[in-house]
Amino acid sequence: MTTIERVSTTASSVPLHTPFVTALRRTETTDTVIVTITDSDGRTGWGEAPQVWQVTGESLAGATACIEAMLAPTITGRPLDDRDDLAAASRLVQRCVARNFGAKAAVDAALHDLVAQAEGASVAALLSSRPDGIRDRLTTDVTLSAGAAEALADTARERVSAGFRTLKMKVGTDASTDVQRVASVRDAVGPDVAIRLDANQGWSREEAVQVIRALEVADLGVEFVEQPVVADDVEGLAWVRERVGLPVMADESCYGLYDLERVIRLGAADLVNVKLAKCGSLTVGRDMLRRAHDAGLGTIVGSMMESHVGVGAAAALVAAEPTTEVSDLDAAWWSRRSPVVGGIAYCSNEISLPSIGGFGISGFAPES
């Protein structure tokens, strides 16, 4: 019988090649807790809990404490022979503590990684029930950090030259000039590059309607506007959606299935952004994508500012349960290096995933 033998945590801080700036924060590093779970057969599973004070409220210290004091003792010694054992362990992780979704997601991902390795399959194959196979390459957008119009235009040209065809602009820092910045980027990249916006809760209800209507009048070819108002104001999200023509996406307003049902009930969004660090589980993430599709909502899968470990888990979810839109999985692309050997790899706007061996990670990378 295979059992869960040890759960370990390692704090990781990886420098970014470019500062990442939104309406909520600025960072020059990816700060996370990497979780490894070792089974009695000597395999190691990998997961990641990001520090995102301004969104989830989780920290390195908090995630580490949650995993070491609560989650690890709950699952250590339990059997992990098959998918039924995986489902049972994952349920225990979800019920063990309130919230702490990043910590739960990290442990949940590592458990999936172990079982996939034991089956000689990828995590995507473990998750999927699709008869037409699993994709081993995904397309991602790339973020344009909040900034001045001229600098954004220059960066947009660089990103397009690097092969990206979908740009996600961070707005919400100044409602009076947001339209000007979008126009500057559109002029820089031409009509054939997709532009989507993320306000990161930066506008009031009234500002959101004003800016979005101005974008519509300017006909700037915006795909959708993500999280225009504060996370708790789901009624406000619905209020904005009723008054604009551009599609509205819920991100910080939608953590798990309960929040998703509220968004659906209120008609608060046209699309939702599913993130493991918000919902706490690959299985819950998959269920959210399916429920959103059934309700006629568009979907993407995103991540926090995470390394190749966390983004690899999110990418496995997309490979298993395709989204309706190009997903938002560029977070690890910003890193100067990967903290691990193996896993996902970027080539222009594509992410390649391992076809066997769980997440395909063989160990920690030596620090340069």
**Residues acting as catalytic residues:** 170, 275
Q: Which of 258, 326, 255, 263 is nearest to 52 (CA)?
A: 255
Q: Which helix (H) or strand (E) holds 33?
A: strand 26-39
What CA–CA distances, in Å, run from 199 to 24, 155, 296, 298, 357? 9, 18, 23, 18, 38
What does the alpha-carbon distance between residue 331 and residue 324 come to, in Å, rounded to a whole number? 20
What does the alpha-carbon distance between residue 203 and residue 268 come to, in Å, rounded to a whole number? 16
Phi-psi region of 42 (alpha: psi -120 to 50; beta: other; left: phi over 0): left
What does the alpha-carbon distance between residue 166 and residue 143 come to, in Å, rounded to a whole number? 9
- Strands of the sheet containing 137-139, edge to edge, are 137-139, 350-352, 345-347
List all residues 6 or more positions away from 297 whose beta carbon is below 8 Å from its beta carbon.
263, 264, 269, 270, 271, 272
For 34, the token pair is 């990497």
SS3 85: helix
